[in-house]
Structure 1
Amino acid sequence: MSLRSLLNILLIVAFWIVGGNCDASSDTEIIKKLLGKGYDWRVRPPGINLTIPGTHGAVIVYVNMLIRSISKIDDVNMEYSVQLTFREEWVDGRLAYGFPGDSTPDFLILTAGQQIWMPDSFFQNEKQAHKHDIDKPNVLIRIHRDGRILYSVRISMVLSCPMHLQYYPMDVQTCLIDLASYAYTENDIEYRWKKTDPVQLKKGLHSSLPSFELNNVDTTLCTSKTNTGTYSCLRTVLELRRQFSYYLLQLYIPSTMLVIVSWVSFWLDRGAVPARVTLGVTTLLTMTTQASGINAKLPPVSYTKAIDVWIGACLTFIFGALLEFAWVTYISSRSFYKRNKNCSSRNSLLIETKQALIIPNTVVAQFPEHPEEVEMGLAQAPDVWIRQSGNGKTVSRVNGHINHNNDEAAELIIFDAKHKNRRFVWWTNFRNIRLIRWIRNRLNVDDNAKRADLISRVLFPTLFVCFNFVYWTKYSQYHAPEAK
C-alpha cells in the first residue's frame, strides 16, 4: 500500500471521528440551550391557536395507547388489571430548535434528570398503578425540531370496573379506562384521541383472557364537571363477554345430572326406605355444596342473578323428589292402617268406591244392565245388602226392608250413595277420550302410593324441561348496558 493511500485512509477516519464528535456535541449543546436559562418546566406552554390572544388557547394533547394485556378480572372486588403503553403528544414552542431542511437532527431524546413540562394526566378509575423500571425505566421523551413532544411510558394498573351480574354467567361487562387532567381545566389542556388507531391491541389479546373474551374496544369523550371546574376527559370502553363453556362443564351439566339422579327414587320400591332417603339427601347436600362454591366467587349483591335462579330451581326439584318420597310413605302407611282397621271390624264395614263392590261369594240382585250407570251414580239399584241374624234365623235386609228369603251366600254389598247424581254427562265424555282413557289405564292401580310414583315419573321431567325452555330463552339474549 502506497503512502498516499495510507494518508487518505487516515484523513477519512479523522473526519469521521471529528464529525461524530461534532454531532454528539451538537445534540448536547442543543439540549443544554433548550433547557438552560429562560425555560421553566413548571409553566405550561402556550397553545397553538393564534386567533386567541394571550396564551393562544389550551394545549392540545393527542393520546393513543397500546393495550398489552388484560388479566385478573375480579368479580368480587369488581376490578381488573391492565398493562399498556401510554403515549401523549403535544407542542411546546419553547423547545423548537430547527427548521425543515436544516442540518439539525429530526428529534432529540431526553434522559433521566432532564425535565420538561408535561400534562398532569391521571386515570380516574385507577386503584393501583406503577411504572416499569426493569432493566431501565420504560419511559421515552422525544423532542422534535418543530417543538412537538412525544411522551411514552409502560404502566400496569388495577382499574375499577362496576359489574352488572343479573345475567351471570351469561353476562357482558363494560369496563372503562378514563383519562383526564388532575389540575388543568379544559381551558388549559384539551385531550383528543389520535385520529388513526387511538387504541391498539396486542396480537392475540381478544382470546388471551382465561374467563372473558374481548368483544369490542371503543373510544369516546367523558368531560367531567366538578366544583373546581370542567376537565377534559377521554374514555376507552372495553366490552368483555364471559366465557360460558367453563360454567357449562362445571355447573350446569353436573347440576342437571344431580336433578336426574334424584328422579331415580321414583323407580325404586317404596319399601326401599334407606335407598330412597340416602339418594334424596345425598343429591340435596351435593347441590347445596356446589351452590356454596359458586356463590363464594361472587359479591353479595342484593338482586337475583341467573345462576341463583338455576341453582334455586335445581334445589327445588331435588327437594321436591325428597318430599314426594315422604308423601308416598305417608300414603302407604295410611292405607296399611286403614286396611287393618277395616279387617278388624266384623259387624260394620264401610268401603267407599265409585263402583259397586261385591264381596266374594255373594249374590247380586237388581243391579242395572249397564255398568257405566252404576259408575256415574245414575242407577236405581239398592244401596246396601247386608246379612243379619234375628231370632235364630238368618234374614237379609235390603235398604231397611227385610227379605225372608234365606240366602246364605249373600253377605255384603255396598254401593256408594254419595256419588249418586253428582256427576255430569260431560265428565263421561271427557273420560272416554282415547288419550285420557290410555292415561287412566296406566294409572289405574289400587295402590295410591304407586300411583304417586307413576305420576312423578312424568311430572318432574316435564316441569324441568319447561323450566329449561323458559330459562334459556330469557337469559341467553343479553346485551351489555351502555356505559355512563
Structure 2
Amino acid sequence: MNRRFYLLPLLFILLWAGEGEGDASSDTEIIKKLVGKGYDWRVRPPGINLTIPGTHGAVIVTVNMLIRSISKIDDVNMEYSVQLTFREEWVDGRLAYGLPGDDTPPFLILTAGQQIWMPDSFFQNEKQAHKHDIDKPNVLIRIHRDGLILYSVRISMVLSCPMHLQYYPMDVQTCLIDLASYAYTTNDIEYQWKKDKPVQLKNGLHSSLPSFQLNNVYTDLCTSKTNTGTYSCLRTILELRRQFSYYLLQLYIPSTMLVIVSWVSFWLDRGAVPARVTLGVTTLLTMTTQASGINAKLPPVSYTKAIDVWIGACLTFIFGALLEFAWVTYISSRSFYKRKKICSSRNSLLVETRQALIIPNTVVANFTEQPTDEVEMGLTDAPDVWVRHQNNGKTVTEVNGLLNHTNDGSGELIIIDSKHKNRRYVLWNNFKNLRLVRWARRRLDVDDNAKRADLISRVMFPTLFLIFNFIYWTKYSQYHVPAAI
C-alpha cells in the first residue's frame, strides 16, 4: 500500500515531462520546417501589396525604439553616446505557419544559429557601436503564425552630432539618429515609423543628463537619393538644451566679481602704486586663466560664441581699469612738473588760462582805444578786455569803451578772446547750466586732474558694464533652435 502511494506522484511527474517534451518537439518541428531546405534567408521576402505584380512591392519595415540613456555629450568632438532598444517588424510570408484560431502556438522564438532574412539596417551617423552580450546576447527574434517577425536588440552607440555654438552656453542642440538601409533601395525596403509611440523614453531620461536637458523628441523622414539609388531613411531628432546654472555659478558670477574687484583701484589713492598694480594684474591674470579653462572644453570654431563676447568684455573692463591707473599716474606726474614750472616763473607778466590771458598786479592806465598788438599776444580781432580791482574784487570795468581810472589802483588785466562768444560757446554754456550737469561739475570740481579721472571712472565703468549686460542678455537670451539638416 505504501509502495503505491510513492509511485503515483512519480507517474504524474513523468506524464507532465512527457507533455513538455511533446510541446518543445512540436515547436522545433515547426521551426525546422520553416527554415528547412525550401527557405533561402539570402533572398528578401515578397511585399504585401498584391496589386503589384512580381515581388508585390517593397517590404514594409516598421520601426520603433526605446531610448534607455543618453550620456557623454562631447562638445569638442561633437558626438554623444546613446543606449537604446531597437525594434523592427516586417512580414515574411514564407515563415507563416498557422491560421488565426488554430492550435498552433501564437509565436516562436528563434535561437542563435537559426538564420532568417533581415533588413540590412544601419545608422548613418554612427561612429562606434556594439551589441550587449551579458549575460546572454540581448537579441530577440520572434516569428508570429501569420509571418510577422519582430526583431529587437539592445545596442550602445556613439553618434555624431554637429553643433552650433554661436549662443554657447545658452544654446540648444539638435542631435540625430538616422536609420536607413545600406543596400536595398526604396523598391525593395521602405521604412515606416510605428504609429503608436514610435520613440519611447525611459522614465527620468529628461533630467538625467549632467549638462543638458532633453526638451523634446520627435520623428521625421530623411530619404536620400544617391548615385546608386534612392534609400528609405528614418530620423529621430533629440532637442537638447544646455543647463545654464553650471555656467552661471562657475563663469558668469565669478567673472563679474573680478570686474567689480578691478574697480576697487579707483577708490585707492594714486600714490598706492603697488596696491593698484597688484590688484589690476591679479584680476587680469585670473580672468585669463578662467577664459583658458573654458576654451579648453570647446572646439576651435571659426565664429564668435556668446562666451567669447562675455570673456572679451570682462577682459576689456579689467584691462581698462589697469590703463586708467597708468593714465592717472601720468597726468599726476605731469601736473606735478607743471606746477613746479609755474612756481619758478611766478613773477612773469602773463599767466595763460583756458578762458583768458591774466596780467596780475598791474597798474591800470587810462585806455581810450583798443589795446596794442603787444598786449593782445596773438589773439583774434576785437578781444574783450576787463579790469578787476584788487581793492574791490567784485568791481569790473570794461576797457573796450572809455575807461576812467586812477593810476594808483592795482588790479588784474584780463583779456578774453572773442572766439568764446560764438554759437558753440553759447550752447556749451547752456549745457553747463543744466541741473544734472551742475551737480556733476560740483562733484568733480577738484583742482587735481588725477583725482578727477578717478571720480569719473567710478561712475563711467559701472555704467558701461550695466549697458553691456543689458545688450548682451537681450541678444543671447533669445535663442532660436536651428533646423536639423
Same fold (TM over 0.5): yes
* Shift in CA distance, 464/420, structure 1 to aligned 2, threshold 3 Å: closer
Q: Describe the shift of the 1:7–1:268 C-alpha distance in structure 2 as closer, same or farther (beyond 3 A).
A: closer
Deviation readout 1:187-210 (Å, 9 max, x if unpaired)? 000100111010000000000000
* Alpha-carbon contact 1:383-1:417 (below 8 Å) kept: no
One-letter identity of the residue aligned with 2:355? K
Q: Structure 1: which 5+ residue stretches go unaligned?
A: 367-376, 386-397
Instruction: Tell me how far apart the structure 1 counterparts of residues 292 and 364 of structure 2 sit (CA, whole Å).
Output: 66
Is the Cα contact below 8 Å between 2:383 and 2:415 reproduced in 1?
no
For 2:305, give the aligned amino acid: K
Within 5 Å, give how 1:462-481 maps onto structure 2: 462-481=463-482
| Structure 1 counterpart of 2:106 | 106
Match of 2:61 in 1: 61
Q: 1:288 is aligned with what amino acid?
A: T
- Matching residue within 368, 378, 386 for 1:381: 386
Do the aligned partners of residues 435 and 357 (structure 1) sit closer, same or farther apart at CA in structure 2, a change above 3 Å counting? Answer: farther
Quickly say closer, same or farther: Cα 1:420–1:218, change in 2 above 3 A. Answer: closer
In structure 1, the residue corresponding to 2:291 is in which secondary structure? helix
Give the direction of change, closer, same or farther, for the CA distance of 1:41–1:365 in structure 2 (3 Å limit): farther
- Identify the residue that residue 369 of structure 1 maps to in structure 2: none
User: Aligned residue for 1:344?
Assistant: 344
Alignment-mate amino acid for residue 103 of structure 1 = D
Matched, 1:262 2:262: yes
Contact 1:46 1:57 in 2 (8 A): yes
Per-residue deviation, 1:19: 1.6
- Corresponding letter in the other structure for 2:483: E
Task: Report the secondary structure of 1:43's partner residue.
Answer: coil
Percent identical pairs in the alignment equals 82
Q: C-alpha distance in 2, partners of 1:272/1:186?
A: 79
Task: Please give the secondary structure, in 1, of the residue aligned with 2:153.
Answer: strand
Corresponding residue for residue 457 of structure 2: 456
- Rounded to whole Å, the distance in 1 between the matches of 2:336 and 2:355 is 20
CA distance in 2, matches of 1:355, 1:191: 91
Q: Deviations over 1:412-452 (max 9, x none)?
A: 66555476534644433332222221111111111111111
Measure the CA separation in 2 of the matches of 1:123 and 1:267.
63
Structure 2: how far apart are the matches of 1:232 and 1:206? 29
| Cα distance between partner residues in 2 of 1:442 and 1:378 | 33
Conservation of the 8 A alpha-carbon contact between 2:78 and 2:163: yes
Answering whether residue 437 of structure 2 is matched by residue 436 of structure 1, we say yes
Alignment CA distance shift 1:190-1:469 (3 Å): same
Aligned counterparts of 1:464 and 1:444: Cα–Cα separation in 2: 25
Partners of 1:246 and 1:475 lie apart in 2 by: 17
Aligned residues of 2:363 and 2:407 also touching (Cα < 8 A): no
- Give the 3-state SS of the residue equivalent to 1:336 in structure 2: helix
Partner of 2:393: none
- Separation in structure 2 between the aligned mates of residue 61 and residue 381 of structure 1, nearest angstrom: 103
Amino acid at match of 2:345: S
Mapped partners of 2:68, 2:446: distance in 1: 70
* Structure 1 match to 2:484: 483
CA contact (8 A) 2:70 2:81 kept: yes
C-alpha distance 255-427 of structure 1, shift in aligned 2 (>3 A): same
Distance 2:431 2:30 in 1: 103
Rounded Cα–Cα distance in structure 1 between residues aligned with 2:364 and 2:457: 39
> For the structure 1 residues 364 and 98, does the alpha-carbon distance in structure 2 shift closer, same or farther, using more than 3 Å as the test?
farther
Larger deviation, residues 197-206 vs 345-354: 345-354
Deviations 1:332-376 (A, max 9, x none): 1111111111111255252314378696x999999xxxxxxxxxx
Query: Over residues 41-67 of structure 1, what are the superposed CA-to-partner deviations in whole Å (9 max), with x where a residue is unaligned?
Result: 111111111111111111110000000
AA at the equivalent of 1:104: T
Q: How does 1:40-439 map onto structure 2 within 5 Å? A: 40-348=40-348, 349-354=350-355, 380-382=385-387, 405=407, 410=410, 417=417, 420-422=420-422, 424-439=425-440
CA shift in 2, pair 1:344/1:6, >3 Å: closer
- The whole-number CA distance in structure 2 between the counterparts of 1:365 and 1:142 is 124
User: Aligned partners of 2:333, 2:419: CA distance in 1, in Å?
Assistant: 26
Residues 353 and 416 in structure 1, CA contact (< 8 A), matched pair in contact too = no
SS in 1 for 2:421: coil
Instruction: For residue 21 of structure 1, report the CA deviation from its aligned partner.
Output: 1.3
Amino acid corresponding to residue 246 of structure 2 in structure 1 = Y
Shift of 1:405: 4.2
Paired residue type of 2:475: K
What RMSD, in angstroms, separates the aligned Cα atoms of the two structures? 2.7
Distance change in 2, residues 1:364/1:480 (3 Å): farther
Q: Matched residue pairs, number? A: 457
Q: Which amino acid aligns with 1:246?
A: Y
Q: Distance in 2 between matches of 1:378 and 1:165?
A: 65
Q: After superposition, give the CA deviation of every residue in 1:244-274 in whole Å (9 maximum; x if it has no partner).
A: 0000000000000000001111111111111
**Alpha-carbon distance between aligned partners in 1 of 2:420 and 2:388, rounded to the nearest angstrom:** 10
Q: Say which is worse superposed, 455-464 or 411-420, in terms of deviation.
A: 411-420
Secondary structure of the 1:453 match is helix
The Cα shift of 1:230 comes to 0.2
Asked if 1 retains the 8 angstrom alpha-carbon contact of 2:383 and 2:416, the reply is: no
